[in-house]
C-alpha cells in the first residue's frame, strides 16, 4: 500500500457523513450465517492531533508491540488510569470553539489495531461485511492495508464490504478514531464526551443469496382481531411463522388471527425469513400505531406513557454496555411500573431494543442529533438549518430507521434533541414519514409541530400542562389537533423529583395528555477511587457543568433512588382506594390493554403499624378502565386500642419474565380510626439544684435551660430550633432560573447561620419555659421560639411554639428541632417508610413499623445534600430514647451535621463524627424539580407562619 507521510485529515472536518460504508440496513443476528466478534483486546496509540502520525500503522506487518492495550468496546479515556486522557462533561456548551465545521488542532486521535485469525472453516462463498456498532466520533478504517472508508455518526452502525480483502489466517484491522470531527457539532448531547470504539465490532459472513435488507410490517386490526404480516426483502424468500401456520412469500401480505403486541402484553411470534442463502430469525409483534382523534393510539386505544429517558451508562465503562447491564435496566423499569423509554438522545445498542420488544416497553427511538451549543449564538449557523449539512442529517435518520425498523416496541421516531429548528429537520421528517408511514415522528424543538405528529415539551409546569390538557394553549392550528407528551419532566437530579403525583393526576385527567418521560434514568457518575463517583470538573475540565450529569432515577451502580420508588407508586397501573372505617375498597384498572387477571390481591390489617391479620382479597379481572367495589373482611378482634389501618396490595399472581410471583405492583392504605395522641399530664415540677434543674427524668442547665440528659441518656447537644437544610440540587435551581431559587435566597437571608438569643429561663409550677429569639445576622426577621418542658414524672414533653416576626418573603427549608446524641445506631420507628419522603415526594411512603440503622437512613446522592427524612412518624426509638410526636413529625438522623453535609461535594467528604444529629421536624419545604424545571407547587411550601408542635421523650431501657 502507499501512504502519505502527512496524513490527510480533511475528512475529519468534512460535513459529509463519510465515504465507503454500505447503505444502512436492518440489524439482526443471523441463524446460520457465520460471524466473528472482534471485541476484546486491541492495541492503542493515542496522539494529540489528527495528523500527528502517518498511516503506516495500517500497513500489514506494522509492529505495534510497544503500543498500549485497550478493551474494545470501550472508551480510551476510561481506560489506562488517565494515561490516555480524561472524560469531559458539558451540558450544552461545546468544549471547543463554535467554528463549524472546524475542530481544534488538539484532537485526541486513537489508532487502534486488531490482529485476528480468520477461522479455518470460514466459508469461502459469498462475501463478508465488517460492522461497527458505535465509534465516537469519526473513524477511518483499513483492513490488511487497504482503506475501506471513513464515517461519522457515533451511535449508529456502519458496515463495509470486506469479502475480497479477507485472507486465510492472519488479518489486520486498523481503525483511526478522532475525538473531534464535524460530526461532533451534531452530537452535543448533555453527557460525557467519550471517544472510542465503544460498541461491538463484528465480521459477518454474507452467504450468496442472503438478504441485504428486509422490513417486517406487522399490523393489528383491533376490530377483527387479525394481524397482517408482510415482510419485504431485497432478496426473495419465504416467511414462516409456525405458531400462526404462516408460510408465505416475501412481499406477500397475509392476514390471520393473532394476539397483538403491546408494552403490557408483549406477544412476539418467532418466525424465519428464509432466502436461498440465509435463515434470518424474526421476532414479530403485531401492532398498529396511528394518530386518530388527536390521540396516539395503538391497536385502537389511546396509550399513556409512563416513561423515562435513558442514556446508556455504566460507571466504569461509560457508554459501552454489556447485555446484562441492558437487561438490568429493562428489568428495573418493568419492576417499577414503567412502560416507556425515550432513547435519549441517540439510538441505543440494538440489543436494548430486542429487550424492549421482549419484555414490553414503548420506545421513542431518537436520532443521534443535538446541536444545543448553538443556542449560545442565537442558533446562528445551526447545522440543521444549513443545506450543506442536510446529507449528514438524512444519513443519520436513515441509519436509525433502517437499523431499528423491525422492532415492534418502537412507536415514535424522534429526529433528535435540542437542535433548534430548520430545513434539515424537515427533510429528516419527510424522509422518515415516507420510509415508514406506520410510525409517528417526534421532535421536541418544534413547538409549532411543523414536522411532528405530537406536541412535545420538556419541563412544562403543572399549570401549563393543565392548560394544554384543556386545549387552552393555542399554538398553530396543526398543533391544536395533536396529542401532548412531556418528553422530559421530573428532573431527577439529587433529592427528588418532587411533584410527580401532581403531574400524573393531570395526565390521567385530560385525554390530550398522553404522559411523559422522567429526566432521566441513571446518574452518569464515573467510578473514582478517591471521590466515590466523579462528575463534571473532577477531571480538571476547563469548562464543565458539575453534577448536572447526575440526574437519574437510579444511582450510578443502578441502585434505585427514592425518586424511582416514588415514580413506581405514582404510575402504578392499579388504583387502590378505600375507606377503612366502613371496610370498602375501590380497585381501578389503569392499564391500557391488560385486564387484572395477572394480579392477586391481599389485604392486611395493622394495629400500631404491626400486621395482626392478613388474607387474600377477591377482585374481579377488571378490563382496562373498569373499577370495582370490594368489601374487606370484618376487622380483626384485638383488645389493643392502638391505631388501626388497612393495607391492600396487588401482587403478581405468577412468575413473569420480569419479576417473580408476589412482586408488589400496587398498594393502597387507609386508616380505620384516628391515631390516639400521646397525653402526658404535667404533674411534675421543675426543681433547681445548683446549676441544674431537674424535671421528671430530665436534667437541664439552669442558666441556659438546655436539656442535658433524659434518664441515663446524656444529650450531647440540646434540642433547639433548626430551619436549615443542606440545599438540594432542586433547592439550588438551575442557573437560568433567577427569581425563585430558594437555595440561594435562603443563603442570602442567612438561614444557614441562624443565631439563638436566650431571652429567659422560667422554672414555673408545672413547666420549665425557655424563651428565645432565633435570627440571622444582618437581618431584622426572626423567629420567636418558646420551649416548654413538662413531665408526668416518667416522660418528658417538649412543646415548641414559633412565631415569625418581620417580613418573611421566603419559605423555610425546615421547621423543627435538632439535637445530638453521643451514641445511636439501630433505629426503629412507626410511621412512613421504608425510604425517605418529602412533602411532594411522599406517595411511596408506607405507614408501618420499620427498622434501620443511622447509616441505613442515609440516601447516598452523588453530590451530598439533604436526604433521608421519614414522613408521618408517630414515634421513633434510637440511642436509648423513644420520641413520640404530637402531631406526627419528620425524622432524620445522621452522623454529620447539616453544615458538613452542605459543604460536602462528594460522598467521600462525609465522615462520621462522634455525635448522631437528629432532626425532628414539624414541617419541610417541598422538593420540586427546579434543577431543570418548576419548583415545588405552592401547597408544598413551608410558609413562615406561627406553629406549635410537641414531642414526648422517654427512655427505652
Site of interaction with ligand GAL (CB under 6 A): 91, 189-190, 345, 417-418, 458, 488, 491, 519, 548, 551, 932
Min dist CB 417 to ligand GAL, Å, is 5
Q: How far is CA 642 from CA 87, 383, 648, 873, 874, in A?
A: 57, 68, 19, 15, 12
Ranked by CB distance to ligand GAL, the top (closest) residue is 190
Beta strands in 133-222 (DSSP E): 135-136, 138-143, 146-152, 158-161, 169-178, 191-193, 196-197, 201-206, 214-221
Q: Provide CB contacts within 8 A for 865, sequence distance 6+.
A: 494, 495, 726, 727, 728, 729, 901, 902
Q: How far is CA 760 from CA 300, 427, 687, 710, 773, in A?
A: 73, 76, 17, 22, 10
Residues linked to residue 802 through DSSP beta bridges, in sequence order: 785, 947
CA distance linking residue 938 with residue 507, whole number of Å: 20
**Which residue's CB is nearer to ligand GAL, number 551 or number 866?**
551
Q: Provide CB contacts within 8 A for 66, sequence distance 6+.
A: none
**Which residue's CB is nearer to ligand GAL, number 188 or number 722?**
188
CA distance linking residue 252 with residue 532, whole number of Å: 57
First-to-final CA distance of the chain: 86
8 Å CB contact between 397 and 374:
no
Min dist CB 549 to ligand GAL, Å, is 8
Q: Which of 278, 312, 488, 884 is catalytic?
A: 488
SS3 22: coil
CA distance linking residue 100 with residue 814, whole number of Å: 49
SS3 594: coil
CA distance linking residue 513 with residue 509, whole number of Å: 8
**Which residue's CB is nearer to ligand GAL, number 318 or number 880?**
318
Q: Give the three cell numbers for residue 691.
A: 446549676
Note if 577 is an active site residue. no
Min dist CB 551 to ligand GAL, Å, is 5
Q: Give the gyration radius of the chain's Cα atoms.
A: 31
Min dist CB 494 to ligand GAL, Å, is 12
8 Å CB contact between 385 and 412:
no
8 Å CB contact between 296 and 411:
yes
Residues linked to residue 44 through DSSP beta bridges, in sequence order: 68, 112
Q: What angle do CA 94, 461, 377 make, to 5 degrees?
A: 25
8 Å CB contact between 164 and 130:
no
CA distance linking residue 262 with residue 725, whole number of Å: 45
Min dist CB 187 to ligand GAL, Å, is 12
CA distance linking residue 630 with residue 222, whole number of Å: 31
**Which residue's CB is nearer to ligand GAL, number 237 or number 515?**
515
**Which residue's CB is nearer to ligand GAL, number 344 or number 915?**
344
Min dist CB 440 to ligand GAL, Å, is 20
**Which residue's CB is nearer to ligand GAL, number 142 or number 517?**
517
**Which residue's CB is nearer to ligand GAL, number 329 or number 366?**
366
Q: Which of 136, 187, 418, 836 is catalytic?
A: 418
**Which residue's CB is nearer to ligand GAL, number 413 or number 519?**
519
8 Å CB contact between 496 and 931:
yes
Residues linked to residue 408 through DSSP beta bridges, in sequence order: none
CA distance linking residue 869 with residue 794, whole number of Å: 28
CA distance linking residue 599 with residue 596, whole number of Å: 6
Q: Give the three cell numbers for residue 26.
A: 436492518
Min dist CB 51 to ligand GAL, Å, is 33
Min dist CB 353 to ligand GAL, Å, is 20
Min dist CB 418 to ligand GAL, Å, is 5
Q: Give the three cell numbers for residue 510.
A: 385530560
Min dist CB 570 to ligand GAL, Å, is 20
Note if 418 is an active site residue. yes
**Which residue's CB is nearer to ligand GAL, number 308 or number 901?**
308
**Which residue's CB is nearer to ligand GAL, number 419 or number 651?**
419
CA distance linking residue 458 with residue 344, whole number of Å: 13
Catalytic residue positions, numbered: 418, 488
Amino acid at each position: 500500500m502507499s501512504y502519505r507521510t502527512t496524513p490527510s485529515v480533511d475528512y475529519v472536518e468534512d460535513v459529509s457523513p463519510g465515504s465507503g460504508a454500505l447503505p444502512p440496513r436492518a440489524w439482526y443476528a443471523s441463524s446460520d450465517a457465520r460471524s466473528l466478534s472482534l471485541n476484546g483486546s486491541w492495541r492503542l496509540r493515542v496522539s494529540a492531533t489528527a495528523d500527528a502520525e502517518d498511516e503506516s500503522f495500517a500497513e500489514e506487518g506494522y509492529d505495534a508491540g510497544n503500543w498500549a492495550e485497550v478493551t474494545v468496546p470501550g472508551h480510551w479515556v476510561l481506560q489506562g488510569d488517565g494515561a490516555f486522557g480524561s472524560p469531559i462533561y458539558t451540558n450544552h456548551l461545546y468544549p471547543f470553539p463554535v467554528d463549524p465545521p472546524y475542530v481544534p488542532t488538539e484532537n485526541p486521535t486513537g489508532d487502534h489495531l486488531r490482529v485476528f485469525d480468520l477461522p479455518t472453516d470460514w466459508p469461502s462463498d459469498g462475501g463478508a461485511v465488517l460492522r461497527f456498532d458505535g465509534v465516537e466520533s469519526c473513524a477511518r478504517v483499513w483492513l490488511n492495508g487497504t482503506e475501506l472508508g471513513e464515517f461519522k455518526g457515533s451511535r449508529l452502525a456502519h458496515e463495509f464490504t470486506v469479502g475480497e480483502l479477507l485472507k486465510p489466517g492472519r488479518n489486520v484491522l486498523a481503525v483511526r478514531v478522532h475525538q473531534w470531527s464535524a460530526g461532533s457539532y451534531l452530537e452535543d448531547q448533555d453527557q460525557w464526551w467519550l471517544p472510542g470504539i465503544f460498541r461491538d465490532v463484528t465480521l459477518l459472513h454474507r452467504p450468496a443469496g442472503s438478504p441485504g435488507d428486509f422490513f417486517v410490517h406487522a399490523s393489528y386490526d383491533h376490530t377483527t382481531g387479525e394481524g397482517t404480516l408482510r415482510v419485504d426483502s431485497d432478496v426473495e424468500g419465504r416467511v414462516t411463522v409456525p405458531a400462526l401456520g404462516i408460510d408465505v412469500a416475501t412481499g406477500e401480505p397475509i392476514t390471520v388471527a393473532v394476539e397483538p403486541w403491546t408494552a403490557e402484553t408483549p406477544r412476539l411470534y418467532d418466525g424465519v425469513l428464509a432466502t436461498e442463502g440465509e435463515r434470518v430469525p424474526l421476532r414479530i409483534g403485531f401492532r398498529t400505531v396511528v394518530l386518530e382523534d388527536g390521540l396516539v393510539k395503538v391497536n385502537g386505544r389511546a396509550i399513556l406513557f409512563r416513561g423515562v429517558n435513558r442514556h446508556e451508562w455504566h460507571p466504569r465503562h461509560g457508554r459501552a454496555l454489556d447485555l446484562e447491564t441492558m437487561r438490568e435496566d429493562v428489568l428495573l423499569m418493568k419492576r417499577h411500573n414503567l412502560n416507556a423509554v425515550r432513547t435519549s438522545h441517540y439510538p441505543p445498542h440494538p440489543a436494548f431494543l430486542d429487550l424492549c420488544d421482549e419484555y414490553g416497553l414503548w420506545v421513542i427511538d431518537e436520532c443521534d442529533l443535538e446541536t444545543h451549543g448553538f443556542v449560545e449564538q442565537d442558533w446562528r449557523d445551526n447545522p440543521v438549518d444549513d443545506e450543506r449539512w442536510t446529507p449528514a442529517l438524512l444519513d443519520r435518520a436513515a441509519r436509525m430507521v433502517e437499523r431499528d425498523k423491525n422492532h415492534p416496541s418502537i412507536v415514535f421516531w424522534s429526529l433528535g434533541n435540542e437542535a433548534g429548528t430548520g430545513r434539515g429537520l424537515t427533510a429528516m421528517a419527510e424522509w422518515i414519514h415516507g420510509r415508514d408511514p406506520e410510525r409517528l415522528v417526534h421532535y421536541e424543538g418544534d413547538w409549532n409541530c411543523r414536522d411532528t405528529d405530537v406536541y412535545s415539551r420538556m419541563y412544562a409546569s403543572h399549570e401549563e400542562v393543565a392548560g394544554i390538557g384543556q386545549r387552552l394553549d393555542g399554538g398553530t392550528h396543526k398543533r391544536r389537533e395533536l396529542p401532548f407528551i412531556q418528553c422530559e419532566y421530573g428532573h431527577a437530579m439529587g433529592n427528588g423529583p418532587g411533584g410527580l403525583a401532581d403531574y400524573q393526576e393531570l395526565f390521567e385527567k385530560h385525554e390530550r395528555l398522553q404522559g411523559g418521560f422522567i429526566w432521566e434514568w441513571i446518574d452518569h457518575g464515573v467510578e473514582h477511587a478517591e471521590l466515590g463517583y466523579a462528575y463534571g470538573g473532577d477531571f480538571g475540565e476547563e469548562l464543565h457543568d458539575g453534577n448536572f450529569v447526575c440526574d437519574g432515577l437510579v444511582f450510578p451502580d443502578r441502585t434505585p433512588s427514592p425518586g424511582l420508588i416514588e415514580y413506581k407508586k405514582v404510575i402504578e397501573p392499579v388504583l387502590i382506594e378505600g375507606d377503612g372505617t366502613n371496610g370498602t375498597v375501590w380497585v381501578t384498572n389503569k392499564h391500557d390493554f391488560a385486564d387484572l387477571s395477572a394480579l392477586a390481591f391481599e389485604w392486611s390489617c395493622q394495629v400500631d403499624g404491626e400486621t395482626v391479620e392478613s388474607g387474600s382479597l377477591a377482585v374481579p379481572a377488571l378490563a382496562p378502565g373498569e373499577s370495582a367495589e370490594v368489601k374487606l373482611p370484618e376487622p380483626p378482634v384485638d383488645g389493643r386500642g392502638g391505631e388501626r389501618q388497612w393495607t391492600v396490595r396487588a401482587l403478581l399472581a405468577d412468575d413473569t419474565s420480569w419479576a417473580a410471583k408476589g412482586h408488589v405492583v400496587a398498594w393502597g392504605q387507609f386508616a380505620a380510626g384516628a391515631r390516639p395522641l400521646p397525653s402526658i399530664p404535667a404533674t411534675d415540677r421543675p426543681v433547681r439544684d445548683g446549676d441544674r434543674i431537674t424535671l421528671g427524668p430530665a436534667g437541664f442547665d439552669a442558666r441556659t435551660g438546655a436539656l442535658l440528659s433524659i434518664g441515663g441518656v446524656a444529650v450531647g447537644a440540646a434540642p433547639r430550633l433548626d430551619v436549615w437544610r443542606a440545599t438540594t440540587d432542586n433547592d439550588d435551581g438551575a442557573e437560568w432560573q433567577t427569581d425563585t431559587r430558594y437555595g440561594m435566597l435562603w443563603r442570602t437571608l442567612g438561614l444557614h447561620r441562624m443565631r439563638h438569643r436566650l431571652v429567659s429561663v422560667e422554672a414555673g409550677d408545672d413547666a420549665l419555659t425557655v424563651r428565645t429569639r432565633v435570627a440571622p445576622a444582618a437581618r431584622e426577621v426572626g423567629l420567636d421560639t418558646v420551649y416548654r418542658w413538662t413531665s408526668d414524672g416518667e416522660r418528658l414533653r417538649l412543646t415548641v411554639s414559633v412565631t415569625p416576626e418581620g417580613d418573611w418573603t421566603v419559605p423555610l427549608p425546615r421547621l423543627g428541632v435538632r439535637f445530638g446524641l453521643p451514641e445511636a445506631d439501630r433505629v426503629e420507628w412507626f410511621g412512613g417508610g421504608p425510604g425517605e419522603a418529602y412533602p411532594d415526594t411522599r406517595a411511596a411512603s408506607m405507614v408501618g413499623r420499620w427498622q434501620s440503622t443511622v447509616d441505613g437512613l442515609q440516601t447516598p446522592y452523588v453530590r451530598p445534600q439533604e436526604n433521608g427524612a421519614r414522613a408521618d412518624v408517630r414515634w421513633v426509638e434510637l440511642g436509648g430514647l423513644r420520641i413520640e410526636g404530637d402531631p406526627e413529625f419528620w425524622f432524620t438522623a445522621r452522623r454529620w451535621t447539616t453544615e458538613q453535609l452542605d459543604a460536602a461535594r462528594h460522598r467521600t467528604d462525609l465522615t462520621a463524627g462522634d455525635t448522631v444529629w437528629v432532626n425532628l421536624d414539624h414541617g419541610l419545604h417541598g422538593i420540586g424539580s427546579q434543577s431543570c424545571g418548576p419548583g415545588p407547587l405552592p401547597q408544598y411550601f413551608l410558609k413562615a407562619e406561627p406553629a406549635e408542635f410537641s414531642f414526648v421523650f422517654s427512655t427505652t431501657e
